[in-house]
Amino acid sequence: MLKRGHKHTLCESDTSSEDEDSSSSSARRPNKQSRLSIDLKSKDLSDNEDGGGGWDVINAKEQTDETGGVANTNTNYSVFAQRMMKNMGYEEGKGLGKYGQGLVDPVEASRQRGRRGLGLRLEGLEASTNLNWDGKQESIFDQLDGRELQRARSRSNPFETLGKLFFQNRAALKMANMDCVFDFMFTRPKNEAGETLIGPEDLLYFADVCAAPGGFSEYVLWRRKTDSGGFCDAKGFGFTLRENDFKLHDFFAAPAEFFEPHYGINGQEGDGDVFKPSNITNFVKFVRTTTKGKGVHFMMADGGFSVEGQENIQEILSKQLYLCQCIVALGIVRTDGHFVCKLFDVFTTFSVGLVYLMYRCFKYVCLHKPNTSRPANSERYIICKWKRDDVDNVYRYLFEMNERLIGLSSSMDVTELVPLEHLRAEKEFFDYICTSNDEIYVTSP
């Protein structure tokens, strides 16, 4: 098995008898054209600790033959090849042909890549002999063809080979990955004492917000069906944009009958816009009523939208989406319940302040990037474990901030939820955010 960093070495074997036979036979067959002595200059393999080292360049020294020709000792080419080229009129530094019009330099290897135009070269993507690493050139891959970028992205992450398995999309595998990493805290919820949160006659209640077409929910229903021996003892609530609706007809791994979409105002007739305060209020009321006032055991949120060409400010563009998903979670997750939500970069005071408020509303918070998440993007997930009892004040505060964002003009914005001085004062939390950003950045090229 080959290992990175190991050199291939030549191994000597005991061939002394064969060497003697070959040398004696060669003595009986004198070379009529030339007598060539090969001087193999090698490192002393016996002194090399790893038994390797490899051979140095083989230099050929030709003695004067019967024709009086002497080979050039400053080249690695064969003596016979040099003589053949000389007979064809070759002169060093000139091309072949009557007027020396032949090629002098070696034929360059093809640089054609994918479906680019013949001879097209993209500045910044060609190999350079003088390589200076510049970490700020994050947009250089925007020049790549879509097909080339997709192939490069697939090769950068071995987990891409998993595809979607028997689920409708790759999102289901992300949820499966996180559920397994955190000891199945979502599909088999327990309290701090290790006791299950699902009674013998109860269902597992969960919510899937901004997560169409429904890969997360499909995994949860499949897991509960598998664990219970074929019967799905779970009930899911969906809340997403109607124009990007759940594809319940694609739930092949689990029964879609145990999942109920809701779109805010007027239930099935709403638009599902999570930014609208009225939609949030109606969905929270619907879930609490259906679960007899207890709420769901956990909520998943996987919201996102296209930011093509603006990837470097994706965090700023997604701030209100972060906020609204957290508002819904605080409104419907029951005490000791869990919450998982997709984030991107967590650099701004607004994002860090929102994570801090989740840290105060749940007993444990973690920023995690699953293996099935593509390493070339800034995607990560906030995992919140065991919701505290009294979080109504935070819920109302965030709800008010969302209303304020909606009412502001384009020239105004809410830049922070928690003062920066207060965040810095929470040293343990602040250090964790910095460390998390450093580690996720290092593992995401």
Q: Which residues contact 275 (CB under 8 A, 6 or more apart)?
A: 320, 321, 324, 402, 406
Bridge partners, residue 190, by sequence: 196
Distance CA 100, CA 113 (A): 33
Contact 102, 96 (CB under 8 A): yes
Residue 340 burial class via C-beta count within 10 angstroms: exposed 0-12, middle 13-18, buried 19 and up: buried
Closest by CA to 316, choosing from 340, 341, 350, 358, is 350
**Residues forming the active site:** 174, 302, 342
Distances (CA, A) of 414 to 81, 274, 322, 361, 400: 76, 18, 13, 21, 12
Distance CA 7, CA 83 (A): 35
Please give the structure tokens belonging to residue 261. Answer: 């979409």
Amino acid (1-letter code) at residue 187:
T
Distance CA 135, CA 137 (A): 6
Alpha-helical regions (H) of 93-164: 146-156
Q: How far from chain centre, in Å, is Cα 426? A: 31
Sheet holding 204-209, edge to edge: 259-262, 234-239, 204-209, 296-301, 333-343, 380-387, 362-368
Contact 323, 413 (CB under 8 A): no
Distance CA 389, CA 225 (A): 30
Parallel, antiparallel, or unpaired: how do β-strands 380-387 and 362-368 relate? Answer: antiparallel
Place of tokens 């996102």: 304
